[in-house]
Amino acid sequence: MKLKTDKSKKLWNYSLKHLAGGVNSPVRAFNAVGGTPLFIKEAKGSRLKDVDGNSYVDYVTSWGVMILGHADPDIQKAITGAIGKGTSYGAPTEAEAVLAEMIKKALPSIQKLRFVSSGTEAVMSAIRLARGYTGRDKIVKFTGCYHGHADSLLVKAGSGAATFGSPSSPGVPAAFARNTVSLEYNDIEGFRAYMKRSGKEVACVIVEPVAANMGLMLPEPGFLAALRKTCTATGALLIFDEVITGFRVGFGGAQGLYGIKPDLTTLGKIIGGGLPVGAYGGGKKIMKHLSPAGKVYQAGTLSGNPLAMAAGCAAIKKLSKPGVYKQLEASGQAMEKGLRLIIREGNLPLTLNRVGSLFTLFFSKGPLKDWTGAAGCDTKRYADYFWAMAERGVYLPPSQFETCFISTAHKPADIEATLKAAEQALLL
């Protein structure tokens, strides 16, 4: 079935006249898969509908935000209840403290936190706090892990055990990048070797505990524990970037799933119930250095926005109910079982990585555990697969190096229809 795209094409040409690159976030431009971006008109539950009337089972779910599905009635009720009272005050509200308490109960490593307006803002603030707390300048990240577009994190890694970054984006001063070291995700020995040489100069080590921005890469056994032990030994702070994994891989995030306690945690996406939000937090000893109690400065006019707080409280309340994550795991298992069967039947050179309700089908033989492996994928074949699935009513991320997300709104019939489409797209 060929997609109807006339209205999307018209809107794309209109957007190109008025928006930089036609979009407000690069992956939406479909550069990685070609063709015209599909303009979405509305969404409900597990489905999207575009302006041309095409309907899709959605596995982008606003990049993992919509864990309860689109237009969840309880979240909508919370937002409409809050909006009648005003949209922003620039002053404290009760909902900020309520949501903070709910998050703390789910993630015990957080004793105090601070709300901001995006995941990028949460990460850049957490790193500033780590530097202020330790009095050190260098940070360690891992190749393929994305932590937002703050200058010090837009660093291109090269070969070798450690690469002192050159900026991967024009506009990032080389001086910023020189204090960022990029290591290979899941390379325990490479990490230990670098920290043995230079660990006393490192303010923090930041990692996606489950890497979900090079496609989905799971931590190898012992990797996260090695980060924790080495950071403790060298005095560097361990930051878990749980903007994606927080309340996604489990109610307690990746730190709960793997039993590792970070010093600082960054959050976003799900904790705002679909509205812009971010947060960072950790132990009282560290967080007391943050202004106004301490000297590390950070502020934001819309931080703790009352609409986002209301939506977040509604979302976390629903996620805390028994059976939610059991359902998500069952859906993930069904998807994994079906895709692996298709791979075996077709003897296809594909790799599937999954944890809970996140999964990526890589167009490369595995196993895949890092960016080096991901970079070898056949992106042209993925692009063909993307459009073949769209034509069959399934909306996937428009890039091989992104992750698919299942929501509680995805029913067994959605999974079955998706697997039928995948079988046709991959085997016919």
Spatial distance between the Cα atoms of 125 and 360, rounded to a whole number of angstroms: 30
For residue 168, name the pLDDT band (cuts at 50, 70, 90): low
For residue 428, name the pLDDT band (cuts at 50, 70, 90): confident
For residue 172, name the pLDDT band (cuts at 50, 70, 90): confident
pLDDT at residue number 2: 84
| Tens-place pLDDT, residues 300-326 | 999 999 999 999 999 999 999 999 999
Model confidence, pTM: 0.95
pLDDT at residue number 152: 74
- Angle, CA 26 vertex, CA 21 and CA 27 arms, to 5°: 130
Average pLDDT on 114-118 reads: 97
Flag whether pLDDT at 9 surpasses 90. yes
Average pLDDT on 366-391 reads: 96
Flag whether pLDDT at 155 surpasses 90. no
For residue 160, name the pLDDT band (cuts at 50, 70, 90): very low
| Tens-place pLDDT, residues 210-221 | 999 999 999 999
Two tokens at 406? 């299942």
| Tens-place pLDDT, residues 182-239 | 999 999 999 999 999 999 999 999 999 999 999 999 999 999 999 999 999 999 999 9
Query: What domains are defined for the chain?
Result: 6-71+322-427 (3.90.1150.10), 73-319 (3.40.640.10)
Flag whether pLDDT at 157 surpasses 60. no
Flag whether pLDDT at 165 surpasses 70. no
Two tokens at 308? 């986002």
Single-letter amino acid, residue 101: E
Flag whether pLDDT at 158 surpasses 50. no
Cα 354 versus chain centre, distance: 14
| Tens-place pLDDT, residues 348-375 | 999 999 999 999 999 999 899 999 999 9
Flag whether pLDDT at 49 surpasses 60. yes
In sequence order, which residues have a C-beta less than 8 Å from that of residue 225 and are 6 or more positions away? 260
Active site residues: 146, 241, 269
For residue 256, count CB atoms less than 10 angstroms from its CB and return exposed for 0-12, middle for 13-18, buried for 19 or more: buried
Please state, rounded to an integer, the average pLDDT across all residues of the chain. 94
Element (H, E) at 353: strand 351-355
Average pLDDT on 73-102 reads: 97
User: Is the bond preceding residue 221 a cis peptide, omega within 30 degrees?
Assistant: no
Cβ count near 368 (within 10 Å): 23
Flag whether pLDDT at 136 surpasses 70. yes
Spatial distance between the Cα atoms of 408 and 323, rounded to a whole number of angstroms: 10
If we measure between CA atoms, which residue out of 263, 244, 258, 276 comes closest to residue 205?
Answer: 263
